[in-house]
């Protein structure tokens, strides 16, 4: 069996890390195609280095743009590639625009789509990722789910049970495989901070960075945090947060450049708490038993709330600060979700080895 795996953004790289060797061990030939959705070194190259990923066989150079522009450009280039290569299946991961582009291109060429991390739902259509998830799942011949709730979501939507396999969370396997390396880095010390003595902030979603009133509330909460805040921030976001008084030298807030995967794991592991709008960080915080405060209206990672690792508070300073105080006082003894372990990639390989049935009528 021969498959092509689509990657294009940081969450994809993290999840594909354990997958390629597991597929190879199962006798499945796997090649990577990098769409170039995240196109600079801080967003892409460092993750390949940290995760020891094989070089992509193809690089499409899609770059940035609107959702439609980016998805369409990736779809056009992937269609050309898939028509020439005709793999037995196309594996797409997560919910980024490259995921949707791959699913659309493959489905129209009658190449079975395998969706890793299928079935997650925020039920919030203001999130472009929710659209990507819904469409990708409808086009997928094999849906590999990270939590039981995802199976239930798909069944409610009328997906044939034979297309669904609960395999667990591939992100968790990647984290467990790299945790020892990450701990040894003690990345917080580079910023003059001590383990357990700071709050880590990651804010990148347009629903926050593109809305001044929401960003102002988040910025105010960070400035009044009971512990120092470390805030790795993308250069494009810096001018926006500067408008709300967070600039280099702001008392209690340390701004940092974006960091690689291992450094980010290290910073999350050693933080007293995390304030984030990232789906992946919610899951990683849960695995690391670092309490999390999520500044969003909704989340597709409901399991992190259910086990007690996460608090969904929106973008109101009082609610953020109250949740942060609660997080800092929590005992961190929540149970880890089912099958968030080091066997996920092997279960995915087994699901592929068992066969991928074509979609009805193909």
Q: pLDDT digits over 150-162, tens only?
A: 999 999 999 999 9
| pLDDT band at residue 39 using 50, 70 and 90 as cut-offs | low
Domain limits for position 193? 176-329
Q: How many CB atoms lie within 10 A of CB 354?
A: 10
Per-residue pLDDT at 42 exceeds 60: no
Q: What is the CATH number of the domain that holds 142?
A: 3.40.50.2000
Examine residue 308 and state whether it is found in any structural domain, yes or no. Answer: yes
Whether residue 263 sits in one domain with residue 195 = yes
Examine residue 335 and state whether it is found in any structural domain, yes or no. Answer: no
Whether residue 127 sits in one domain with residue 39 = yes
**Degrees (nearest 5) of the Cα angle 243, 245, 246?**
100
Examine residue 95 and state whether it is found in any structural domain, yes or no. Answer: yes
Whether residue 51 sits in one domain with residue 199 = no
pLDDT of residue 46: 79
Whether residue 141 sits in one domain with residue 21 = yes
Q: How many CB atoms lie within 10 A of CB 248?
A: 9
Whether residue 57 sits in one domain with residue 182 = no
Closest listed residue to residue 328, CA positions, set 256, 229, 245, 250: 229
Q: How many CA atoms lie within 13 A of 193 on its CB side?
A: 26
Examine residue 198 and state whether it is found in any structural domain, yes or no. Answer: yes
Q: SS in 3 state form for 83-148?
A: HHHCCCEEEEECCCHHHHHHHHHHHHCCCCEEEECCCCCCCCCCCHHHHHHHHHHHHCCEEEECCH
Backbone phi, then psi, for 91, in 5-degree steps?
A: -100, 125
Examine residue 358 and state whether it is found in any structural domain, yes or no. Answer: no
pLDDT of residue 300: 98
Q: How many CB atoms lie within 10 A of CB 192?
A: 11
How far apart CA 263 and CA 196 sit, in angstroms, is 16
Mean pLDDT (the chain, rounded): 94
273-276 and 199-202: which strand pairing? parallel
Strand partners, 256: 232
pLDDT of residue 98: 96
How far apart CA 299 and CA 307 sit, in angstroms, is 14
Whether residue 10 sits in one domain with residue 150 = yes
Whether residue 190 sits in one domain with residue 146 = no
Please compute the mean of the pLDDT values over residues 242-252 and round it to a whole number. 83
pLDDT of residue 208: 92
Please compute the mean of the pLDDT values over residues 127-136 and round it to a whole number. 97
Please compute the mean of the pLDDT values over residues 286-313 and round it to a whole number. 98
User: 307 with 337: CB under 8 angstroms?
Assistant: yes
Per-residue exposure over 127-152, b if at least 16 CB sit within 10 Å of its own CB, e if not: bbbbbbbbebbbbbbbbbbbbebbbe
How far apart CA 152 and CA 303 sit, in angstroms, is 13
Active site residues: 204
pLDDT digits (tens, 9 = 90+) for 315-350: 999 999 999 999 999 999 999 999 999 999 999 999
Backbone phi, then psi, for 188, in 5-degree steps?
A: -60, -30
Whether residue 320 sits in one domain with residue 240 = yes
How far apart CA 78 and CA 213 sit, in angstroms, is 39
pLDDT digits (tens, 9 = 90+) for 199-230: 999 998 988 998 999 999 999 999 999 999 99
Comparing 106 with 53, the larger pLDDT belongs to: 106
Domain count, the chain: 2
Whether residue 152 sits in one domain with residue 71 = yes
Please compute the mean of the pLDDT values over residues 117-130 and round it to a whole number. 96
How far apart CA 326 and CA 166 sit, in angstroms, is 33
- Pair of tokens at residue 147: 């939590």
Closest listed residue to residue 128, CA positions, set 63, 207, 10, 44: 207
Question: How would you classify residue 258: left for phi > 0, otherwise alpha for psi between -120 and 50, otherwise beta?
Answer: beta
Q: How far apart are the first and last CA of the chain?
A: 19
pLDDT digits (tens, 9 = 90+) for 56-90: 999 999 988 889 999 999 999 999 999 999 999 99
Whether residue 50 sits in one domain with residue 108 = yes
pTM: 0.95
How far apart CA 283 and CA 337 sit, in angstroms, is 10
């Amino acid at each position: 069996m021969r498959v092509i795996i689509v990657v294009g953004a940081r969450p994809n790289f993290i999840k594909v890390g354990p997958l390629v060797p597991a597929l190879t061990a199962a006798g499945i030939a796997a090649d990577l195609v990098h769409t170039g959705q995240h196109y600079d070194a801080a967003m892409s190259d460092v993750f390949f280095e940290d995760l020891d990923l094989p070089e992509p066989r193809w690089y499409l150079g899609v770059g940035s743009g609107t959702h439609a522009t980016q998805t369409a450009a990736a779809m056009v280039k992937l269609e050309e590639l898939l028509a020439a290569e005709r793999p037995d299946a196309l594996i797409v991961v997560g919910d980024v625009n490259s995921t949707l582009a791959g699913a659309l291109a493959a489905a129209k060429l009658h190449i079975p789509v395998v969706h890793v991390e299928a079935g997650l739902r925020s039920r919030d259509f203001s999130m472009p990722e929710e659209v990507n998830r819904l469409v990708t799942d409808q086009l997928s011949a094999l849906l590999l789910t990270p939590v039981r709730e995802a199976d239930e979501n798909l069944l409610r939507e009328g997906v044939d049970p034979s297309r669904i396999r609960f395999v667990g969370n591939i992100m968790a396997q990647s984290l467990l495989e790299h945790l020892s390396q990450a701990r040894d880095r003690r990345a917080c010390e580079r910023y003059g901070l001590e383990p357990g003595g700071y709050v880590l902030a990651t804010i990148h979603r347009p629903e926050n960075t593109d809305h001044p009133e929401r960003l102002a509330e988040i910025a105010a909460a960070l400035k009044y945090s009971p512990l120092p805040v470390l805030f790795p921030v993308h250069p494009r976001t810096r001018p926006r947060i500067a408008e709300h008084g967070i600039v280099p030298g702001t008392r209690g807030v340390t701004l940092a450049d974006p960091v690689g995967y291992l450094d980010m794991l290290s910073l999350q592991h050693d933080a007293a708490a995390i304030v984030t709008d990232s789906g992946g960080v919610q899951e990683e915080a849960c695995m690391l038993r670092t309490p999390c405060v999520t500044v969003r209206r909704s989340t597709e990672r409901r399991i992190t709330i259910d086990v007690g690792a996460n608090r969904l508070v929106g973008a109101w300073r009082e609610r953020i600060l109250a949740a942060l105080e609660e997080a800092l006082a929590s005992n961190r003894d929540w149970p880890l979700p089912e099958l968030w372990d080091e066997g996920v990639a092997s279960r995915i390989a087994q699901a592929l080895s068992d066969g991928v049935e074509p979609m009805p009528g193909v």
